[in-house]
Amino acid sequence: MIESYLLKNISGYIDGQWVDADSGRTVEVLNPANGKTLAEIPYMAADETARAIAAAKAALPSMPDVATRREWLEDTRDALIAEKEEIGRILCLEHGKPWKEAQGEVEYAASFFDYFAKSMEDGLAPEELADKVKDCTWTVYKRAIGVAGLITPWNFPIGMIAKKIAPAIAAGCPVVIKPATETPLTMIAMFQIMHDRLDLPKGVINLVMGSSKEIGGELMSSPDVPMISFTGSTGVGQLLIEQSRQHVKKLGLELGGNAPFIVLDDADLDSAADNLIANKFRGCGQTCVCANRIFVHSNVYKEFTDKVVEKVKALKVGDGMDEDVDIGPLVNAAGFDKVHDHVKDALSKGATLVAGKHPDELDSDKNLFYPPTVITDVTHDMLCCQEETFGPLIPMIAFDTDEQAVQQGNDTEFGLASYVFGKDAKRAHKIIAQLHFGHCGYNTATGPAAHAPFGGMLHSGIGREGGHDGLLEYVELQTVPDGS
Ligand code: ADP
């Protein structure tokens, strides 16, 4: 079992109180590196969620002014930075990502509290329109939308909630949060910090965990939750779209990806290879911005592949708490089996394994460590091109013309992240302008940052997180023509 001074209460948090499930039911949180139980968390359902919504609703009228809310964000930022080692340790144990990388995620989370603390006053300021029309002055106010329901996945246990809770609080919205059952402990630690260090009125932040179906169902069917921000699979996102119909809820959805990584024949191949390694193996390949399909110009295909393979062979896989480990385990057996299936499928359709182990040597029953794997001779019909692998697999696909790179890169209904590497900026930007992805790194495979809007096109979602647009998700615009 996990021991931590930040986990004094392994419970939900409703109306300022630490609470267990009404039923007394619990569910285990496992360490994916060794399968051992870390904790038992309450398995809550609809009734607890209804109470959390009621508490948040009651807190809404007395949400304090911008200055106080800014202090909450600043204090949270400072506390996260001060506690990054301990939060990172909890995160590493429940998720599997290396401890150092986990601490980087805590810093990333803190950057959202920092950004919204600094930008909220300007971001929320009313805008007086320049034109006087119909003898009126027109002002657009930004009103807090109300109680926000925030649902997060396991791949960034603190990063994903930071980009939702910071703008929600900045805008003046109380929140009801549902973390993923695989990784709730990091969030509980964050709640402990906020409970201990902020003078928060009851009901401003609430945490429920347990039955996704019941908690999600209650959030969606309640008329008191006008806004839901969700990060997770496209399937659940589509369900939420259906469920939002009754109360015409505002939805922010960050869904799946299938990122193309395009290497042109004039690219700096060493830099492109370094970027690919850093991007691809973050979180053991379990991020929605991880490159999923690697398109390499045929003139440099062999040279680029050789460079990548050399770097991949130097990576160390193991328990994320071991200092020299680069890649931890996959989060669960289903995640492992998906990677396994993608590799088996590709090899059966003619791909060649150039780094990693043959799938016959691997089994999720033994452990969840999947070696970083590179395959060549990949074609579009293989599962690894059709779906997000969400694991440490690099599939290399050759192309001959820029038109082919665009056509193949766009050959997916997803549209989250993409990357283009090449020295000729005009040529690269011509490609970028044709890609239907909300994020496109040029000569960098960096992911989102707090100051910039991030989100998907097509089946990858609705809305943006981060930046001014990320704040606007939590407000309603009210236009006031003033004829006086
Ligand atoms: P992933 O594949 O990343 O686990 P999911 O979409 O299954 O993606 O999960 C993301 C988050 O959505 C998790 O917190 C999960 O518990 C939650 N979730 C799953 N099913 C539902 C649902 N029917 N309604 C609301 N939330 C759900």
- CATH number for 38: 3.40.605.10
Q: Which residues contact 242 (CB under 8 A, 6 or more apart)?
A: none
350: region left, alpha or beta (phi > 0 left; psi from -120 to 50 alpha): left
Residues 169 and 62 in one domain: yes
In the chain, how many domains are there? 2
Q: Which domain holds residue 206?
A: 12-255+460-482
pLDDT band at 180 (very low <50, low <70, confident <90, very high): very high
Q: Return the pLDDT at 482.
A: 98
Q: Same structural domain for residues 377 and 333? A: yes
Torsion of CA 254, 474, 185, 19, to 10 degrees: -130
Q: pLDDT of 436-473, one tens digit each?
A: 999 999 999 999 999 999 999 999 999 999 999 999 99
Domain assignment present for 470: yes
Whole-angstrom distance, CA of residue 413 vs CA of residue 293? 14
Q: How confident is the model at residue 427 (pLDDT cuts 50, 70, 90)?
A: very high
Q: What per-residue confidence (pLDDT) applies to 53? A: 99
pLDDT tens digits, one per residue of 331-351: 999 999 999 999 999 999 999
Task: Please give the pLDDT value at position 62.
Answer: 92
* CA nearest ligand 1 atom 21, residue: 212
Indicate if 100 and 209 belong to the same structural domain: yes
Query: Which pLDDT score, from 0 to 100, does residue 246 have?
Result: 97
pLDDT, residue 380, reads 95
H or E segment to which residue 161 belongs: helix 159-171
The two tokens of residue 151 are: 């649902």
pLDDT tens digits, one per residue of 201-237: 999 999 999 999 999 999 999 999 999 999 999 999 9
Average pLDDT over residues 281-297: 98
DSSP state of 292: E
Q: Is residue 454 part of a domain?
A: no
47: confidence class by pLDDT, cuts 50, 70, 90: very high
Ligand 1 neighbour 180 (Cβ under 6 A) = yes
pLDDT computed for residue 260 by the predictor: 98
Same domain, 127 and 235: yes
Average pLDDT for residues 294-314, to the nearest whole number? 98
pLDDT in tens, 90-132: 999 999 999 999 999 999 999 999 999 999 999 999 999 999 9
> What is the CATH classification number for the domain harbouring 366?
3.40.309.10
Within this chain, do residues 216 and 328 fall inside the same structural domain, yes or no?
no
Output Rg (C-alpha) for the chain, integer angstroms: 23
Q: Are 189 and 72 in the same domain?
A: yes
The whole-number average pLDDT for the span 76-88 is 98
> What tokens appear for 7 in the block?
């986990």
Ligand 1 atom closest to the CA of 239, numbered from 1:
23
Torsion of CA 244, 247, 248, 250, to 10 degrees: -70
What pLDDT score was predicted for residue 226? 98
DSSP 201: P
Tell whether 428 is covered by a domain: yes
- Locate the ligand 1 atom nearest the alpha carbon of residue 180 and give its number: 14
Burial category of 462 from C-beta neighbours within 10 Å (exposed 0-12, middle 13-18, buried 19 and up): middle
Task: Catalytic residue, from 92, 173, 284, 288: name it.
Answer: 288
91 with 120, same domain? yes
Tell me if 43 sits within 8 A of 210, measured CB to CB: yes
Report residue 184's pLDDT band, with 50, 70 and 90 as the boundaries. Answer: very high
Question: Do 71 and 30 have their domain in common?
Answer: yes
254 catalytic, yes or no? yes
pLDDT at 45: 98
CA distances to 148, 294, 366, 445 from 260, in Å = 33, 6, 32, 11
Domain membership of residue 118 (yes or no) is: yes
Token pair recorded at residue 220: 């969606």
Distance 94 CA to ligand 1 centre (A): 17
Within-domain flag for 455: no
Residue 477, judged by CB atoms within 10 A of its CB (0-12, 13-18, 19+), counts as exposed
Q: Is 3 within a domain?
A: no
Instruction: Report percent pLDDT > 70 for the chain.
Output: 100
Q: Is the same domain home to 294 and 423?
A: yes
Task: Kindly report the pTM of this predicted structure.
Answer: 0.98
Per-residue DSSP letter, 260:
E
Query: Measured from the CB, is residue 294 less than 6 Å from ligand 1?
Result: no
Q: Is residue 2 one of the residues assigned to a domain?
A: no
Note whether 16 and 102 are same-domain residues: yes
Known catalytic residue at 384: no
pLDDT on residue 480: 98
Predicted pLDDT of residue 465: 98
Q: Are residues 78 and 103 in the same domain?
A: yes
CA distance 229 to 240: 10
400-421 tens-digit pLDDT:
999 999 999 999 999 999 999 9
- Confidence bin at 167 (pLDDT 50/70/90): very high
CA 263 / ligand 1 centre spacing (Å): 34
- 233/325 same-domain check: no
Q: pLDDT value at position 206? A: 98
Beta strand spans in 334-415 (E): 352-355, 373-376, 393-399, 414-415
Q: Output the average pLDDT for the chain.
A: 98
Determine, yes or no, domain membership for 321.
yes
- Report the amino acid identity of residue 215: I
The pLDDT value recorded for residue 324 is 96
